[in-house]
Amino acid sequence: MVIEMRGIKRIYKMESKQSEESVVVRALRGVDFSAGEGEFVSVMGPSGSGKSTLMNILGCLDKPSGGTYTLDGIETSKSNADTFAYIRNRKIGFVFQSFNLLARTTALENVELPLFYRRREKGESRDSAQARREKAVAALREVGLEKRLHHLPSQLSGGQQQRVAIARAMVNDPAFILADEPTGNLDTGMTLEIMGLFQELNRRGKTIIMVTHEPELAAYTKRIITLRDGELVSDRAVTGQRNALDDLSQWKQDHALLASASASANAAAQVPQEELA
Ligand SMILES: Nc1ncnc2c1ncn2[C@@H]1O[C@H](COP(=O)(O)OP(=O)(O)O)[C@@H](O)[C@H]1O
Ligand SMILES: [Mg+2]
């Protein structure tokens, strides 16, 4: 198993200003969740159900108040800050809604960065500058951006920026990709492109965990877990997984039809005016 969570709890304690007592929020109330290599899982649930809390624990950004979490064979709850940072850097590839690319830095340099700051195990040698470059180029090729290596983020579309972020997430060959609403800032076409890329990476064996609000996007994954009030209330396989690239070409056709229909409608509307002139 890549991910093995048992009885994960997270309690937030807040000091109340009005009274002496502290307020306790049970954000996760004993979640069991496992995922193996090659899975593509959506995390769903209404606002406040505990998705971000679960993401933070999955991403080793936060520790649970109770339960155990084993990632790629490492028991994370017992690990110290150093090991925690190592796991975060080497085992998890983060993809965020807002891309989080460095603005004055090319696509290639953005992807090289995690290799530069790569945490090494004892005895592991540092990659040479040339090796780092080769790995970054390979990751950008995997997301179809080999012709945009020297572009700045501002010279790329939103979808291309998210591709750079995905290349950056993959460059350290993590155990899984953790994506938080990865298409939240993208239009329909780019969203389908990114979902198509995730599906292709998943077919090549990448394990992906994605938080999403949208059932239409969850339909491109293979399994959906749903949280409610801090509990995992449903865990089911997606039957009839949709193909994002098929949906993209259908969407483009419909779009082109709509565009030409409105163009001819405009042309028709202009006839009387021209006759008047
Ligand atoms: N840092 C925090 N301190 C106190 N309560 C929090 C904190 N983070 C989240 N919560 C509470 O925990 C519950 C789950 O929140 P969250 O994980 O953000 O849900 P979701 O991402 O599904 O909207 C909510 O009731 C929220 O108010
Ligand atoms: Mg949230």
> With a 6 A CB cut-off, is 16 part of the ligand 1 pocket?
no
The residue contributing the CA closest to ligand 1 atom 2 is 12
Q: Where are the beta strands (DSSP E) in 166-249?
A: 176-180, 208-211, 223-228, 231-237
Q: What is the pLDDT of residue 29?
A: 98
The residue contributing the CA closest to ligand 1 atom 13 is 27
CA of 48 to the centre of ligand 1 (A): 6
Q: What is the pLDDT of residue 123?
A: 85
The ligand whose atoms approach the alpha carbon of 49 most closely is 1
> With a 6 A CB cut-off, is 49 part of the ligand 1 pocket?
yes
Report yes or no: 60 and 87 within 8 Å, Cβ to Cβ: yes
How many angstroms separate the Cα of 109 from the Cα of each of 218, 222, 245? 32, 33, 29
pTM to 2 decimals?
Answer: 0.90
- Residues contacting residue 83 through CB under 8 Å, at least 6 positions apart: 74, 76
Identify residues whose C-beta is under 5 A from ligand 2, the ion: 51-52
Report yes or no: 142 and 167 within 8 Å, Cβ to Cβ: yes
Q: What is the pLDDT of residue 276?
A: 52
The residue contributing the CA closest to ligand 1 atom 14 is 50
Q: What is the pLDDT of residue 78?
A: 84
Q: What is the pLDDT of residue 22?
A: 85
CA of 270 to the centre of ligand 1 (A): 55
User: In a mutational test of the pocket of ligand 1, which residue from 15, 22, 25 has the highest number of ligand atoms less than 8 Å from its CB?
Assistant: 25
Q: What is the pLDDT of residue 272?
A: 57
CA of 266 to the centre of ligand 1 (A): 50
What is the number of the ligand 1 atom nearest to the C-alpha of 227? 22
Architecture of domain 3-16+23-264: 3-Layer(aba) Sandwich (3.40)
Choose among 235, 92, 99: nearest CA to 170. Answer: 92
Query: Which portions of the chain are predicted below pLDDT 50?
Result: none
Strand partners, 4: 34, 70
Helix (H) or strand (E) holding 272: helix 244-276
Q: What is the pLDDT of residue 89?
A: 92
CA of 125 to the centre of ligand 1 (A): 40
> With a 6 A CB cut-off, is 261 part of the ligand 1 pocket?
no
CA of 97 to the centre of ligand 1 (A): 18
Angle, CA 53 vertex, CA 198 and CA 208 arms, to 5° = 15
Q: What is the pLDDT of residue 261?
A: 83
CA of 83 to the centre of ligand 1 (A): 26
User: In a mutational test of the pocket of ligand 1, which residue from 8, 12, 31, 61 has the highest number of ligand atoms less than 8 Å from its CB?
Assistant: 12
Q: What is the pLDDT of residue 212?
A: 95
CA of 198 to the centre of ligand 1 (A): 28
